[in-house]
Structure formats: structure tokens, C-alpha cells
């Protein structure tokens, strides 16, 4: 259709990766590209979800000749149990991230490593939770809120507090379907219990619990992770930065942060900007210090400080392959154990920091809230001292980067919308201007693009091509996680250029509001921001979330967290489009429950759509948005 001439194409990115793989060859390093080949073809039972190894009578694998496991469970029960366990793996990860944030909040103090940077937000949430704020010291309040938040994981009775933010209609649906989330740990434990040998084998019950566990993540653990990270580190506002491997600086000490929890990386960023450290770097022969990131830790620090994004999930080995990475500092989730042996092929220090993510061949700096400052300073210092150990002939930083404007929290989006409202008639602080754009047809709808990379899909292609297709069709894209980084690397978040390629409607909106057409909303826990945005839109519009012309899409997803996310997005009433099958195709019943008209769709007014043909997936998304418009008579 259009010539997206200014963007960095997947081909160009692959060319850059290929030049880095040359480096890998030189040092004899192993890479995911090779390991993916070694692992192909994948196990058909695993892919279909039809292998059960929950008890030691098996493993049982379902075939036409052996249609039931030893216990008698049929393929539908097995697939559904596997699906639920897969889901709660993600729920646990996200929610434990949220829990860590609550513990850090509990450690905040005036002048300490961790402080309350957005007291207004803390007060707002306290009011929302019915906590008395009058006359309270802000840190006393923070500690009180941390304790209340931590109880969300284990309270004996009641519903998730943040779930109350959803529109009334949505909450009614949840209660009616018995999926209103209770304590987070309970939903995970219940799921593990249900899938224990000899418990549930009824697919409907297992899928219901998958939705419920998912909701305890999206409207529970993840939402706490997001909201209280904002309280401590600041609520993101639009900020300009750059993305792609070229953000690493040849002459600087390069520290790459990776993982998901912003607590450590916030400290690293702080000390990398410390004049004392910069002077030390110069003393050691570098021109300065560059912190960049991969994965969601990168998203966290780019949203709040404009720290450049070196890449996404499948670029994590690339940053080491540049030969110019002094340290890759990781916290939790999505970290390749391969980084250990890979770093040994270079001068790079691979630094693990969390007891949750321990790996061989790494240096472990046990990170805690009390000692965060010292930890971070020691790490930065060690990276600086490592600068001299580079092998100059191995240094290769492909000159590839794009401009990006990031930092679109819900608060920031409303602020942008205030900018196009008219003080003579409009109310400020709402999503109404956006609703008007959609209602009038200027924008057709919105897509929430999320998720990972996956070697099963040519990396980034699905993200980038789908986004372009949406933009050309006047559909605005909100995005998080590795999908956001794919967009940034390609240039789709460039506030000047990207709009030129959009349909006339979206282009005009971008011009008037001064935004790129693809809005970076943060890391994968920040999909909770998208849920808040969707419910605010529905409330401001006066319709149900499921009626709003908005869909979700995870075209290259790979982790358990992604399935947990998929469950809560669908359960929130947002049709969700997947480009990779969630190990469910072995069961017609489970497939029907997840993707059919009469499964989850009946309970929550939305379902999954799976299509590995990306072009077709995009067409289906547009058709879904247009169908929602037609149903509204717009």
C-alpha cells in the first residue's frame, strides 16, 4: 500500500543481526538461531497440549489409538489442565513481580534509596481503597498501603480491590461467571489444586479458573506492579528517546539492563548519571556511560527516563555479540540462561541480582531494597573497570536506530487528550476526545499490541507489519512489552515521521495531539494500564467494554505470562488475536471454549482468535473493529 520509506525494515534488522552472528562464529558462541534449529521439529504432543505428566503413572500421550490417559482423562481434560497450569505460571510471575514492588514500597523513606515520587498518585489510590489519608505522613501512608496491597495476595475473603475499577457491567459478568478474582495466591493455588491428579477434568471449569487467575493478574498483581512503580518511580509522561542496537555507544561504557523489575535498574540509571562515576569512566578510557535496555526492564526505564532501548526479547544475545557490552545486568523473567556461556566468550559481565532468577556462569549480586544503592554503584563501577577488557577487533555496533516518543501512561494519555479538548465546553481529564474521534469515524478503533518475540514467527515481522496495516486503516495502536520495542526499533514511534504514513484520520489526530500513532504504554505488567484505559473509555462513552471498537493482539507471544495476559484481556471483554497457538489445538472442546461463539464468549463477551497467517490475522482484527462499529450504528 504505502511506502514506509523511513522505517527500519525487518530485513535491515536481520542484516545487522547477521553481522553480529559473524562475531558469534569468531568466538564460537552458541545462539538462539542455532538452538531453534536444533529443537525443530517440535514435539507434536507438546504443541497440541496432549501430553500429561501431572502424575507418575504416565507420561500419557493422547493418540487415536490411546484416546485416554491411564486415569481415564480424555484429551479435552488434559489440554485444559495444561492450559490452566500454563496460565498460572504467568499469573505467578507477574504477580510476584507486583509483590516485590509492594515490598519495595514498604521500604521507602524520605531521602532513602526508594522514595515516593508521585505522592498524588499514592493519595488517589489510597482514597480509592478507602484508606484515610488526612494528616498522614506520606511515608507512613506508603507503608500502610504496601501492607494492604500485600494482603491482596492472601486475604481470606472478598474480591480484588483494583478489580472494582472495572465498569459495573463487566463486574456483573465476572460475578455471574464466577470468575471475579479473589486473593491472588489463592487463584494460583486453586489452579494448581484443580489440576492435581484426580481433581478437575471438566474443560469448562478449568478454563473458567484460567480466566479467574488471569484476572487476578491483570486486575491484581500486574496492576499493583504498575501503579506502585509509578508511585515510587514517577508516573510516565511523554519523553523522547531512541531504539535499536545502534543506541549502544562504541566509546562509552555500555551497561545493558534486562528483565522486568524496575527497582534495580532505577538505581543503575541513577549511578550511571553520577558525575563521580562518569569521571571514573573517563579515567578508565571511556567517553562516558551509556545505559540501554532490553525487554521490559528497558521499557520501565525508557518510560520514566527516556533510557534508550537496545532491543527486545530476541535481541538479548545481540547486545553481548556487539563485543561492546561491559555488563548485562538482569533481574527477573525472560532472561536466556544462554547469556551465561555467551558472556564468557566476550569480556561482558553477566550479572544476576534476584534470588528468583539464579543462573550458572553469572556473577550474583544479591540485590535488596536496603542495599540497592550500594549494589547499583558497585555494579556500575565494575562495568567501568571492565571497559579496558574489550577485544577491539570484536567490537561491532550496527549503526541502526530510530527516534521514539514514549511514556504514555493512562494519565499521560488523558493529558494529551486535554490538549485537544476545548475549555469552553469540554471536561478535562477524561478519554472523551478519544471517544469522539472513534465515534465520528476519524479513528476506526484501537488495537492493543502486546507480547513477546518467538522464533516460530520471523522476529518482529508480525508486530511491525500488523501495526503498519492498522495505521494505514486509521486504527490507533497502543502497545507494551517487546511489541512496543519492535515498533520503536522500526521507527513507528517517531513523532514526526510515523504519522505521515497513517490514514488521513489517524494522521490528523497525531498532528493535533502531537503524538506518534503507536503509543508506548510500558512493560508487560503495564497491560494493566490498557485495562484501566479500556474501562475508562467504556465509562466515558456509556457503553460496555466489549462494544468499544478495540481489540487485543499478541502475534509473537511465547511466555506463560502472555497466556495469563490473554486470559484477562479476553475476560475484560476485549477480543484477543494470537499469532501463535496456546498449546490447545489438541482439543476441539478447549478450542471451542477459547475461540468459539459459545465458550468464554458467552461469559465475557469476547474470545480468542488464533491465526498463524499474519495477514489474515490483521484482516480479522479490522473486520472485528468494523463489526463493533456497525453494531453501534456508527
508 counts as binding other proteins under rule CB under 8 A: yes
Distance CA 219, CA 43 (A): 34
Distance CA 330, CA 264 (A): 9
Q: Tell which residue, 450, 437, 431, 514, has the closest CA to residue 476.
A: 437
Contact in structure between 252 and 287 (CB atoms under 8 Å)? yes
Pick 323 or 549: Cβ nearer other proteins: 549
Give the angle subtended at the CA of 240 by the CAs of 235 and 245, to the nearest 5°: 110
Candidate list 505, 522, 579, 582; residue touching other proteins; CB under 8 A: 505
5 counts as binding other proteins under rule CB under 8 A: no
Pick 249 or 436: Cβ nearer other proteins: 436
With residue 12 as reference, give the H or E element that holds it. Answer: helix 10-27
Pick 250 or 507: Cβ nearer other proteins: 507
425 counts as binding other proteins under rule CB under 8 A: yes
424 counts as binding other proteins under rule CB under 8 A: yes
623 counts as binding other proteins under rule CB under 8 A: no
Q: Which residues contact 156 (CB under 8 A, 6 or more apart)?
A: 183
Distance CA 233, CA 196 (A): 40
Number of residues engaging other proteins in binding (CB under 8 A) = 26
Distance CA 528, CA 431 (A): 17
Distance CA 511, CA 581 (A): 38
Q: Shortest Cβ distance from residue 617 to other proteins (Å)?
A: 21
Pick 217 or 474: Cβ nearer other proteins: 474
512 counts as binding other proteins under rule CB under 8 A: yes
Q: Which of residues 394-423 bind other proteins (CB under 8 A)?
A: 417, 420-423
Candidate list 48, 503, 522, 579; residue touching other proteins; CB under 8 A: 503
Q: Shortest Cβ distance from residue 419 to other proteins (Å)?
A: 9
Contact in structure between 522 and 226 (CB atoms under 8 Å)? yes
Pick 214 or 433: Cβ nearer other proteins: 433
Among 28-36, 347-355, 505-513, 608-616, the segment contacting other proteins (CB under 8 A): 505-513
Q: Is 561 helix (H, G, I), strand (E, B) or coil?
A: helix
Candidate list 212, 401, 444, 489; residue touching other proteins; CB under 8 A: 444
Among 208-216, 318-326, 481-489, 497-505, the segment contacting other proteins (CB under 8 A): 497-505
Q: How many CB atoms lie within 10 A of CB 528?
A: 30
* Beta-ladder partners of 403: 242
Q: Shortest Cβ distance from residue 576 to other proteins (Å)?
A: 24
Pick 106 or 507: Cβ nearer other proteins: 507
Three cell numbers at 436? Answer: 469522539
Residue at grid coordinates 564460537: 28
DSSP 542: T
Q: Shortest Cβ distance from residue 117 to other proteins (Å)?
A: 31
Among 313-321, 486-494, 508-516, 615-623, the segment contacting other proteins (CB under 8 A): 508-516
442 counts as binding other proteins under rule CB under 8 A: yes
Pick 259 or 445: Cβ nearer other proteins: 445
* Beta-ladder partners of 511: none
DSSP 162: G
Candidate list 391, 440, 588, 598; residue touching other proteins; CB under 8 A: 440
Among 82-90, 245-253, 501-509, 605-613, the segment contacting other proteins (CB under 8 A): 501-509
Q: Which residues contact 282 (CB under 8 A, 6 or more apart)?
A: 288
Pick 111 or 504: Cβ nearer other proteins: 504
Q: Shortest Cβ distance from residue 629 to other proteins (Å)?
A: 8
Q: Shortest Cβ distance from residue 626 to other proteins (Å)?
A: 8
Candidate list 40, 64, 198, 504; residue touching other proteins; CB under 8 A: 504
Q: Which of residues 303-342 bind other proteins (CB under 8 A)?
A: none
Q: How many CB atoms lie within 10 A of CB 66?
A: 11
* 373: exposed, middle or buried (Cβ count in 10 Å: 0-12, 13-18, 19+): middle
Sheet of strand 363-364: strand arrangement: 363-364, 349-352, 327-330, 253-259, 289-294, 309-311, 239-243, 402-406
Tell me the residue length of the chain. 634
Q: Shortest Cβ distance from residue 503 to other proteins (Å)?
A: 6
Three cell numbers at 356? Answer: 528468583
585 counts as binding other proteins under rule CB under 8 A: no
Q: Shortest Cβ distance from residue 519 to other proteins (Å)?
A: 16
Candidate list 90, 214, 433, 566; residue touching other proteins; CB under 8 A: 433
1 counts as binding other proteins under rule CB under 8 A: no
285 counts as binding other proteins under rule CB under 8 A: no
Candidate list 112, 337, 429, 441; residue touching other proteins; CB under 8 A: 441
- The CA-based diameter of the chain, rounded to the nearest angstrom, is 73
Pick 324 or 437: Cβ nearer other proteins: 437
Q: Is 449 helix (H, G, I), strand (E, B) or coil?
A: strand
Distance CA 123, CA 125 (A): 6
Question: What phi and psi, each to the nearest 5 degrees, are found at residue 256?
Answer: -110, 125
Is the CA virtual torsion 166, 171, 177, 178 positive or negative? positive
Q: Which of residues 462-491 bind other proteins (CB under 8 A)?
A: 473-474
CA distances from 54 to 60, 195, 208, 414 (A): 9, 8, 20, 47
Q: Which of residues 71-100 bind other proteins (CB under 8 A)?
A: none
Candidate list 437, 554, 558, 578; residue touching other proteins; CB under 8 A: 437
Using CB under 8 A, list all residues that contact other proteins: 417, 420-426, 433, 436-437, 439-442, 444, 473-474, 503-505, 508, 511-512, 626, 634
Amino acid at each position: 500500500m504505502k511506502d514506509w520509506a523511513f522505517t527500519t525494515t525487518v530485513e535491515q534488522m536481520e542484516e545487522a543481526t547477521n553481522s553480529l552472528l559473524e562475531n558469534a562464529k569468531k568466538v564460537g558462541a552458541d545462539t538462539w538461531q542455532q538452538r531453534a534449529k536444533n529443537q525443530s521439529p517440535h514435539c507434536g504432543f507438546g504443541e497440541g497440549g496432549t501430553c500429561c505428566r501431572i502424575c507418575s503413572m504416565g507420561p500419557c500421550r493422547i493418540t487415536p489409538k490411546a484416546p485416554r490417559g491411564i486415569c481415564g482423562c480424555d484429551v479435552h481434560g488434559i489440554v485444559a489442565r495444561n492450559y490452566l497450569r500454563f496460565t498460572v505460571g504467568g499469573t505467578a510471575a507477574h504477580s510476584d513481580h507486583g509483590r516485590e514492588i509492594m515490598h519495595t514500597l514498604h521500604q521507602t523513606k524520605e531521602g532513602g534509596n526508594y522514595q515516593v515520587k508521585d505522592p498524588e498518585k499514592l493519595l488517589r489510590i489510597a482514597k480509592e481503597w478507602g484508606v484515610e489519608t488526612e494528616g498522614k505522613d506520606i511515608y507512613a501512608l506508603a507503608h500502610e498501603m504496601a501492607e494492604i496491597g500485600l494482603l491482596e495476595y492472601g486475604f481470606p475473603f472478598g474480591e480484588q480491590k483494583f478489580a472494582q475499577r472495572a465498569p459495573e457491567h463487566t463486574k456483573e459478568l465476572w460475578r455471574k461467571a464466577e470468575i471475579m478474582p479473589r486473593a491472588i495466591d489463592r487463584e494460583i493455588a486453586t489452579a494448581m489444586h484443580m489440576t492435581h491428579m484426580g481433581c478437575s477434568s471438566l474443560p469448562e471449569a478449568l478454563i473458567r479458573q484460567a480466566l479467574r487467575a488471569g484476572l487476578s493478574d491483570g486486575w491484581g498483581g500486574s496492576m499493583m506492579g504498575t501503579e506502585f512503580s509509578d508511585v515510587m518511580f514517577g508516573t510516565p509522561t511523554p519523553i523522547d528517546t531512541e531504539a535499536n542496537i545502534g543506541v549502544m555507544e562504541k566509546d562509552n561504557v555500555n551497561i545493558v539492563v534486562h528483565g522486568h523489575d524496575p527497582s534495580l535498574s532505577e538505581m543503575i540509571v541513577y549511578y550511571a548519571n553520577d558525575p563521580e562515576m562518569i569521571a571514573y569512566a573517563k579515567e578508565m578510557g571511556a567517553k562516558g556511560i551509556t545505559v540501554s535496555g532490553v525487554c521490559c526492564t528497558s521499557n520501565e526505564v525508557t518510560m520514566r527516563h527516556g533510557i534508550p532501548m537496545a532491543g527486545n526479547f530476541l535481541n538479548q544475545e545481540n547486545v553481548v555479540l556487539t563485543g561492546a557490552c561491559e555488563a548485562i545486568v538482569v533481574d527477573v523473567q525472560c532472561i536466556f540462561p544462554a547469556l551465561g556461556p555467551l558472556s564468557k566468550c566476550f569480556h561482558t559481565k553477566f550479572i544476576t541480582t534476584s534470588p528468583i532468577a539464579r543462573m550458572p556462569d553469572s556473577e550474583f549480586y544479591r540485590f535488596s531494597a536496603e542495599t540497592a544503592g550500594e549494589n547499583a554503584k558497585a555494579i556500575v563501577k565494575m562495568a567501568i573497570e571492565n571497559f579496558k577488557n574489550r577485544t577491539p577487533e570484536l567490537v561491532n555496533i550496527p549503526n541502526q536506530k530510530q527516534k521514539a516518543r514514549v511514556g504514555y501512561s493512562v494519565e499521560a494519555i488523558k493529558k494529551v487528550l486535554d490538549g485537544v479538548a476545548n475549555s469552553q465546553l469540554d471536561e478535562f481529564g477524561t478519554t472523551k476526545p478519544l471517544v469522539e474521534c472513534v465515534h465520528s469515524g476519524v479513528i476506526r478503533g484501537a488495537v492493543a499490541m502486546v507480547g513477546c518475540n518467538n522464533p516460530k514467527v520471523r522476529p518482529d515481522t508480525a508486530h511491525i507489519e500488523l501495526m503498519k496495516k492498522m495505521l494505514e486503516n486509521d486504527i490507533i495502536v497502543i502497545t507494551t512489552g517487546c511489541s512496543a520495542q519492535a515498533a520503536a526499533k522500526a521507527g513507528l514511534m517517531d513523532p514526526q515521521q510515523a504519522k505521515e504514513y497513517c490514514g488521513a484520520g489517524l494522521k490528523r489526530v497525531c498532528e493535533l495531539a502531537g503524538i506518534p500513532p503507536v503509543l508506548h504504554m510500558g512493560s508487560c505488567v503495564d497491560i494493566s494500564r490498557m485495562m484501566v484505559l479500556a474501562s475508562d473509555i467504556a465509562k466515558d462513552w456509556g457503553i460496555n467494554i466489549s462494544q468499544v471498537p478495540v481489540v487485543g493482539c499478541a502475534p509473537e507471544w511465547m511466555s506463560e505470562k502472555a497466556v495469563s495476559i490473554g486470559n484477562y484481556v479476553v475476560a475484560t471483554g476485549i477480543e484477543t488475536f494470537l499469532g501463535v497457538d496456546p498449546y490447545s489445538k489438541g482439543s476441539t472442546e478447549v478450542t471451542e471454549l477459547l475461540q468459539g461463539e459459545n465458550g468464554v464468549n458467552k461469559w465475557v463477551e469476547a474470545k480468542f482468535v488464533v491465526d498463524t497467517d499474519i495477514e489474515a490475522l490483521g484482516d480479522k482484527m479490522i473486520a472485528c473493529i468494523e463489526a463493533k462499529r456497525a453494531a453501534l450504528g456508527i
